[in-house]
Chain A
Amino acid sequence: MLIEMNDVTKTIKGALILDRVTLRFESGRIYGLQGPNGSGKTMLMRLVAGLIRPTKGEILIDGKRLGHDMDFPPSLGLLIENPAFLPGYTGKRNLELLAELQARVGDAEICQALRDTGLDPEDRRKYRKYSLGMKQRLGIAAAIMEKPDLILLDEPTNALDEKGVEEICGLIRRERDRGALVIVACHDREILEGLADEIYAVAEGRVERRAT
């Protein structure tokens, strides 16, 4: 998969969020977006996910224009901002409901994704009873369970302890090694430096590549 952002500008209600961003992402690599809160990292991810459209410029996925030739990237797993699930069901049931929409994966893959993220598939607790760390892990499980070609993770290490951060970083590397294109937004530079193949600094709507 090849993603090209050409001169992408995004303004919301007159405020400039991203200013003429030109980037190129390729499969089999982890890209880190680093910057303070409100710098435009999440907005950039939402643009790549197809959830919002650029005010100017274009985003091409394998040569096809996002928002014109396709609504969303064809194989996408995402965790943007907070994990979002139905509070009245178990973690596994929530993943099943999402998986049923495409029917690409079955019970075995769902259980594996839960185990990979350190969750117990047999846990009968409802999502509303989960701790913040468990919610975060479930969000990552939802993003990876269908083995997507493109994985977007916004602050995936939020609410995780040190061991949890290591586990999730290991999982993200395995996804990269599988051939997925992974974009990770994180305000913690140290985590990104240990994880990403390329890091981009996002500040005041501008994006610049950092040496890794």
Chain B
Amino acid sequence: MRKALKAELWKAFHDPMLLLTALCCLLIVAANVWNCAAEMADWARSSRPPEGAAPDIRYSTEGYSLFVLSLPYYPQLFSAHVFNYIWPLLAAIPYGTSYMQERRTGVFNQVVSRIGRKKYFFAKYIAVFVTGGVAVSLTELTAVLADAMVVPYWRVHISLMETLHNGAFLSTLYYTHPWLHLLCWCGALFLIGGSTACLTFFAWTGLRLRALTVVIPFAIYFVTGTVIGRLIASGLIPRSSLLSKVANVLFVVQVGHSSYPGLWSLAVAGVVTAVTLIAGYIQVVKNELD
């Protein structure tokens, strides 16, 4: 298993698609820095009181902390908005298509005839999980570090600003140890991104177009969440029903954001991991090889 995993991780981190993902992530990070710089410039203009007037409390410096404006905390910025929608794609792009690619080309036969189906599946699963997790969590971490070039760092005081509401991911830690909270959130995001990337194991073997495999996680989260959301809005599904709660969990913007209830974020990662492990195992190990 160790040898198989080593070979899979080597392939994963040398895959050209990883470069494409890195480029997308860098674009998001750069856009976020730009957006943050614009916010700071706006603040600098607005917070300057007219001569003789008292400073306007609305433009308190509290709201212009790294831990308010940065990518994991402020979804209103354009770059954050984009990221919150496309992160399932970012998770799937680096290595999500490799299983389908190897099935199609026949590399799969070469590998399984040497190490067996089970070892192949678990090594592939871990490689897909790790690349997906790294792509998503590293984007957020890089964004915060890059934003630190233009946004000052100070701790947010809960009495002045409730960036993360009670019940959000480790919200108490956010107000006391924000850097530690950021690291924890990136860890959670690694699990969420990794499990999301593994949704690509749902691709059926007859699927020819590589791009469609990448879209599967996004489609599952977004379409399901949106469709159920619309049905709830139209009154066809009662707001208090279980389906309504499921829709909330699946709604892509929330799962990947730090203000989403932490327990639910991790629960989603756990459920998706379990489901993809079962689906992938059936697909790769139990299915007859055609």
Contact = CB atoms under 8 A, between A and B. Distances in A.
> Do A and B originate from a single complex?
yes
Interface of A: 46, 49-53, 71-72, 76, 78, 80-86, 88, 97-98, 100-103, 142
B116 interface: yes
B16 A88 contact: yes
Given A51-B289, A72-B113, A98-B114, A84 B3 contact: no
Interface size class of B (residues with CB under 8 A): 20 to 34
B110 interface: yes
Contacts of A78: 109-110, 113
A95 to B, nearest CB: 10
Contacts of A97: 7, 10-11
B7 A102 contact: no
A175 B280 CA distance: 37
B80 to A, nearest CB: 34
Interface string B64-87: 000000000000000000000000
Contacts of B282: none
Contact of A81 (B6, B106, B117): B106
Interface string B106-136: 1111111111110000000000000000000
In the A-B complex, list the 3 residue pairs whose CB atoms are closest, starting with the nearest. A84-B106, A51-B289, A84-B107
B51 interface: no
Contact of B3 (A81, A83, A101, A142): A101
Nearest to A88: B16
- The prevalent SS among residues of B at the interface is helix
A83 B107 CA distance: 8
- The prevalent SS among residues of A at the interface is loop
22 contacts: A46-B289, A49-B113, A51-B109, A51-B112, A51-B289, A52-B289, A52-B290, A71-B116, A72-B113, A81-B106, A82-B106, A84-B108, A84-B110, A88-B14, A88-B16, A97-B10, A97-B11, A98-B110, A101-B7, A101-B111, A102-B114, A103-B3
B288 interface: yes
Contacts of B107: 84-86
A154 B234 CA distance: 59
Interface of B: 3-4, 6-7, 10-11, 14, 16, 105-117, 288-290
Contacts of B114: 76, 98, 101-102
A77 to B, nearest CB: 8
B110 A52 contact: no
A83 B105 CA distance: 8
Given A51-B113, A101-B114, A101-B115, 20 more contacts: A46-B289, A51-B112, A51-B289, A52-B288, A52-B289, A52-B290, A71-B116, A72-B116, A76-B113, A78-B109, A78-B113, A80-B109, A84-B107, A84-B108, A85-B105, A85-B107, A85-B110, A98-B111, A100-B3, A100-B7
A182 to B, nearest CB: 16
Contacts of B111: 98, 101
Contacts of B117: 71
A101 B110 CA distance: 10
Contacts of A52: 288-290
B283 to A, nearest CB: 15
A191 to B, nearest CB: 23
Contacts of A72: 112-113, 116
Contacts of A101: 3-4, 7, 111, 114-115
A49 B107 CA distance: 14
Contacts of A142: 110
B105 to A, nearest CB: 5
